[in-house]
């Protein structure tokens, strides 16, 4: 980053949870999904820094102001035989876009994946989010068009669990 736009990307700490939570809500609003957000600051804190952390996060700061984040966790590929990095969310606040901060977050994530000897990185993007799709393709990411994502929500999980 140039000296006119100094960017610091670091591992998030417990004090970053309010900023990360606020950006999660901003992302959900952008994706027209705010109505389904159940997360709270407390649940994000537990997920990132509780007894058994479920995820990790990077925070991007410009002049000590939080401007973006990446939240990720480990998955596993039986075909590759190695863990991988699953990027749950990547977000840069609108007024800070176009400065290379999203790419800087992805570069840091790729470095983490290399350091940990992960076999791949994966993430999902909404099919209408053309700017993000084009950005990811420009980095060499390949859409997995032949795969369909399936999800069980909390009620469906409970139903399956009790069906046995």
Query: Hey, what are 142's tokens?
Result: 């390949």
Dihedral sign for Cα atoms in the order 12, 57, 30, 32:
negative
Strand order through the sheet with 82-92: 7-11, 56-62, 65-77, 82-92, 121-123
- What are the residues whose beta carbons fall under 8 Å from the beta carbon of 70, sequence distance 6 or more? 57, 58, 60, 87, 89, 90, 91, 105, 106, 108, 109
Whose CA is closest to 123, among 160, 64, 72?
A: 72
| Residue positions annotated with a catalytic role | 136
């Amino acid at each position: 980053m140039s000296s006119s736009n100094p960017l610091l990307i670091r591992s998030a700490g417990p004090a970053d949870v309010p900023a990360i939570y606020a950006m999660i809500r901003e992302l959900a609003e952008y994706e027209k999904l705010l109505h389904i957000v159940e997360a709270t600051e407390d649940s994000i804190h537990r997920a990132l820094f509780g007894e058994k952390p479920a995820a990790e996060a990077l925070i991007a700061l410009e002049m000590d102001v939080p401007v973006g984040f990446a939240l990720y966790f480990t998955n596993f590929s039986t075909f590759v035989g190695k863990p991988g990095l699953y990027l749950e969310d990547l977000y840069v606040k609108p007024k800070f876009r176009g400065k290379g901060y999203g790419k800087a977050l992805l570069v840091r994530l790729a470095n983490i994946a290399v350091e940990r000897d992960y076999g791949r990185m994966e993430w999902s993007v909404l099919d209408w989010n053309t700017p993000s799709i084009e950005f990811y393709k420009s980095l060499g990411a390949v859409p997995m068009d032949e795969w369909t994502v399936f999800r069980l929500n909390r009620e469906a999980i409970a139903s399956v669990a009790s069906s046995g």
